[in-house]
Every structure is written in structure tokens, then in C-alpha cells.
Amino acid sequence: MKSFHRIVLPLLWLALALAPLVEGYTYYTTTMSERPFTSLHDVFKPSGLVGQGLGILGSLLIIVGVSTYSTRKRWTRVQGAGKLRNWLTFHIFVCTLGPFLILLHTTFKIGNIASISFWSMTIVVVSGIFGRYVYIHIPKFANGLFYTERDMQREQAALVEQVHEITALDEGTVRGFIQQFHPAPPTGFLNAFWKAIRLDVGKGRLRREMRQALAEQGATDEQVEQAAPLLIESARLDQQRQLSGPFQRLFGYWHVLHIPLALVMLVTFLIHVGVAIAFGYTWIF
């Protein structure tokens, strides 16, 4: 599943996003003044078959992404329909692909009421990426509820116990490994964000040093293979525990920006569609 999220989905996103550029690259790279005289103009202009189609498809992707994730997150009757993080992945996939297709729909020429909708959409996408980064660094259950301090301590104790059973190392030694990577408490939101980035960059070093520490304590290769992922997860959980408080508050503040901007984007989008139809830009279907 991790390889699907990290490799397959990005490649699929790129394939779908770049597909219109196979034929339209020449048009999009032509200067604005010369585009009306090219053979592709009637097809790729915002009101053309492909141009308008990209706008409609991109808009539908955003609507589907927002509505399905919001429904799964808030409607109790469907909260058992798959893990929330998978719905979030789908939400991000379509809600970043959709805006890119809309950007192609505009042919990189943005003005009037559409500019409000476009820049609102851009800010929503950027803030959404930031929000996801914060969200994934908060320990949580499969249903999306955040861990409490007691939940994190219980989870870490269970991981330490599993390492003890595999390697026969006493729990004090195991906790000593973890303590080496115990970060100092963050002093604010920016410091917490910076620490999270540093911890992500240091994943490889953490993995190597954990495996080396186990080997130095006499663990066999088989024990290292079994225990190292548990030990690394325990250390990561300890690190996230330090970031959980400020990140949960930051995530709450993020909602204050993200949701109203999404509503502004929706309202201006509807106005843009209404104006386009009023001025005779007919639906392609």
C-alpha cells in the first residue's frame, strides 16, 4: 500500500495531468497574441471543445473530492466505509489534479471574476498541502481521531514490549535507544514545523542507527529485521508526541483559513459559470 501511495499515485497523477499537453503543448507555449491564428486555437481556447472540457472536468474533480471526503468525515452512517486516510489521499489526488486541469482551461490567462476563483483555488490547494503535512504528523487512530497523551504512551509501551519479546533486551535498554532520538519540546508553531521537517529528513539516519544499536547489543540479523521497524516506529511516535500539541492547535487554525477560502472559491466559480453561460459560451455536452 505504501508503494501505491508513494509511486503509483504520483505517476498516475502525472499521466493524467500531462495528457492534455501531448497535443496542447505547442498551443500553451505560443504567445497570447499569436494563439488566435494557430490551428489549435478553436479547440484549446477556454470556450473550445478541449479547453472547456478541461474546465468542466477539473471542476467536477474538485466537487467530487470535496463532497466525498466531507461526507466520509462527517456523516456517521458512512464512517465505516474505508480508512479516513485513504479518503484523504483520494481527496488530495483529485483536488490537486482538478486545479491543474482548470489552469490549462484558463490557458494561463486569468482575469475578471475568474481570477478571484482561481487565486482562491490556488490558496486552497497550497493550504491543503500544508494541512495534510501537519495532519499526518499527528498520531491518530484508523478512524481519524487523534491520540491522547495516554494513547501514545500505551502504543509506545506495546511497541517496546514487542521489541523486548523479539530480542530479549530489557525494556530499559530499548527505551534508552528511543531516548537518544527524543527531541526537545518545540517553542512554537514555526519551531514545531521546522523540527518535523528535520525529523523527516533524518528518517534514513534514524533507521541506520537503530539497526546498528540492535546489532551492537548482540541481536541476530533476523531479530534486527523484525525489531528495527518496531523500534523506529516507537521512536517516531515519541518524536510526534512532542509535536502533537502545537500541531493539533495549528491544524485547528488551518481550518479557519482553508474552509472559508473553499467557500469563496465555490461561490466565485458558480458566478463564473453563470456569466459564461449568460454570454453565450454554451456547454460542450
pLDDT at 278: 77
Cell of 158: 506495546
Which of 114, 70, 103, 60 lies closest to 255 in space, CA to CA?
70
Asked if pLDDT for residue 58 goes beyond 60, the answer is yes
pLDDT at 175: 78
Classify burial at 250, counting beta carbons within 10 Å of its beta carbon; exposed 0-12, middle 13-18, buried 19 or more: buried
**Per mean pLDDT, which range of 77-86, 127-136, 253-262 is the poorest?**
77-86
Q: CA-CA distance, 48 to 31, in Å (whole number)?
A: 18
Phi-psi region of 107 (alpha: psi -120 to 50; beta: other; left: phi over 0): left
Cell of 232: 523506529
Share of the chain above pLDDT 70, in %: 88
**Per mean pLDDT, which range of 47-56, 89-98, 193-202 is the poorest?**
193-202
The DSSP element (H or E) to which 59 belongs, if any, is helix 49-74
Q: CA-CA distance, 272 to 86, in Å (whole number)?
A: 32
Q: CA-CA distance, 284 to 45, in Å (whole number)?
A: 13
Q: CA-CA distance, 269 to 176, in Å (whole number)?
A: 55
- Given a contact cutoff of 8 angstroms between Cβ atoms, the answer to whether 213 and 177 are in contact is yes
User: Which range among 83-87, 157-161, 276-280 has the greatest average pLDDT?
Assistant: 157-161
* Tens digits of residue pLDDT in 119-143: 778 888 888 888 777 777 777 766 6
Give the pLDDT band of residue 281 (cuts 50, 70, 90): low
pLDDT at 230: 81
DSSP state of 8: I
* Tens digits of residue pLDDT in 209-242: 778 878 877 778 888 788 888 877 887 777 777 7
Share of the chain above pLDDT 90, in %: 7
The more confidently predicted of residues 117 and 158 is: 158
Q: CA-CA distance, 259 to 8, in Å (whole number)?
A: 29
